[in-house]
Chain A
């Protein structure tokens, strides 16, 4: 059997809270396997445990009980952390907090420099990484002058330059305009398909889930639903109970079906809808 890249076994996690008010259990007995090259999307209401789960993948947090293995390495063993962080990079929500250097190029070089990689090799990796996110022509620009979507692509390049096996993105598009969101989504799909990088993508935008191989839905610290986007979005009622939703087009298709229009229920995109309603050509 193929070995998963990431394996959670009965993972629970409790945040210690200030002022002796006891802890808060943010993960409850989570079991999960993510395989190499997979694109996994994670949905869940505010406070359901998504960010806590994500932080366990690169050992920013370690389980209170249970075990997380990344490429066979136990995240609870301190000697493993360095190696795990090279295999798993994280991108966060706010593009302004992640870039530190005065040029795009220096920012992307930061990670490999920390690994003690020789300068010629760093140059090569920086070029490759910026190329991979479509930002090579901006290599000498100051990061703070870029648009939100461009900043996030530079943050992603900073991780790609470490040659990771997996990127975990925690709501990377939440602050972006529609064009920025599209840029980032296209970039991570390309990295997944062409570079084979495993992606764990957390989002509140239902339409960003459509291209994923698998969707996990979290609620109260547990994974409560799992499947392909089509399978998950066919459960409109359950999703709404979990404070989530289906894409607008899926909602429309379900409404049309209930009005007697012959249309399959699993429609996810405008294109699919047009093809079903105007099948002539």
Chain B
């Protein structure tokens, strides 16, 4: 499913003294099957932007199409769009409500009218995706879990709907390193094997560097940069001005190069940095 925004502006609390312009003339297209990262400082409009992708917010001006359907048209059934465009919110644990984990994660599929057996199967699969044990947790209250466990349950609730587009707003905040890696790897697998479109909002430069095909940088309601991670991370100055910075290993390569070492600075992962440094040192000897 593709998503297209044309000249989208959005104002919160329009026509009040508190009016805030959160998006300014944003035009962009996300093609079917892309894996896109969105980064930007707090308040730059990331959360506002992605809520336009499934009609949770409608533009103050401009147009939004999802899979060719105009969301701003008054006859459009937003409910159907939202079943296909799944969204994991920034504080997903606030949306937990079920008495048990099974009820909570099964809510979406049950609402889609699936048979109970299928619902349970989907819950089992979704919990496995986020590294939780079905048998251990299904009857437990989601409110009696640790912060990170709650977050995993909330993510599972969206995965259980098996959406064609998956939008995640800072999904790994509060997860331990293994959990972060596992969940992101699962999302990569879903992307690769089922071809779903993934849009990932994150504060982790390391994560986007490792995962996405395309990176969008937001600044004060506008798209400031849009390109491959390598292209975006070449703009070190712009990123620094936005308070964002580079992945740690990329920063290291810049420093080494400044000291005269013959390394390529387009390095985004630990593995690539290792090869680059070994190569440069070999050349020196």
Interface on A for B, CB 8 Å cutoff?
A: 15, 17-19, 21, 24, 44-47, 51, 93-94, 147-149, 171, 174-181, 204, 206-207, 240, 243-245, 247-249, 251-252, 255-256, 259, 261, 270, 273-274, 277-278, 280-281
Contacts and interface: CB of A to CB of B under 8 A. Distances in A.
A172 to B, nearest CB: 11
Contacts of A251: 270
A270 to B, nearest CB: 5
Q: How large is the interface on B (under 10, 10 to 19, 20 to 34, 35 or more residues)?
A: 35 or more
Contact of B42 (A177, A245, A281): A177
Interface of B: 40-43, 90-91, 139-141, 144-149, 152, 170, 173-180, 203, 205-206, 243-245, 247-249, 251-252, 255-256, 259-261, 270, 273-274, 277-278, 281
B248 A45 contact: no
Given A244-B177, A274-B256, A277-B277, A46 B244 contact: no
A247 B177 CA distance: 11
B252 A46 contact: no
Nearest to B248: A248
12 contacts: A15-B144, A45-B178, A51-B147, A171-B147, A176-B203, A177-B41, A178-B243, A204-B177, A244-B176, A248-B248, A261-B277, A274-B252
Nearest to B20: A145
A255 B274 contact: yes
A248 B255 CA distance: 15
Contact of A178 (B174, B175, B203): B203
B245 A46 contact: no
A46 B278 contact: no
A93 to B, nearest CB: 6
A274 B261 CA distance: 10
Nearest to A147: B42
B211 to A, nearest CB: 15
A248 B206 contact: yes
Contacts of A273: 252
User: Lowest 10 A-B CB distances belong to which pairs?
Assistant: A46-B148, A179-B243, A243-B178, A245-B177, A278-B259, A147-B42, A47-B146, A45-B176, A248-B248, A174-B173
Given A174-B173, A261-B278, A274-B255, A46 B147 contact: yes
A174 B204 CA distance: 11
Nearest to B243: A179
Contacts of B243: 177-179
A47 B252 CA distance: 34
A45 B131 CA distance: 12
Contacts of A44: 176
Contacts of B247: 248
Nearest to A239: B177
B175 A46 contact: yes
A270 B248 contact: yes
Contacts of B205: 178
Nearest to B271: A255
Given A179-B243, A270-B255, A171 B174 contact: yes
Contacts of A252: 249, 252, 270, 273-274, 277
A277 B261 contact: yes
A33 B283 CA distance: 51
Nearest to A249: B248
B145 A47 contact: yes
A278 B261 contact: yes
A206 to B, nearest CB: 7
Given A18-B144, A46-B146, A274-B255, A248 B249 contact: yes
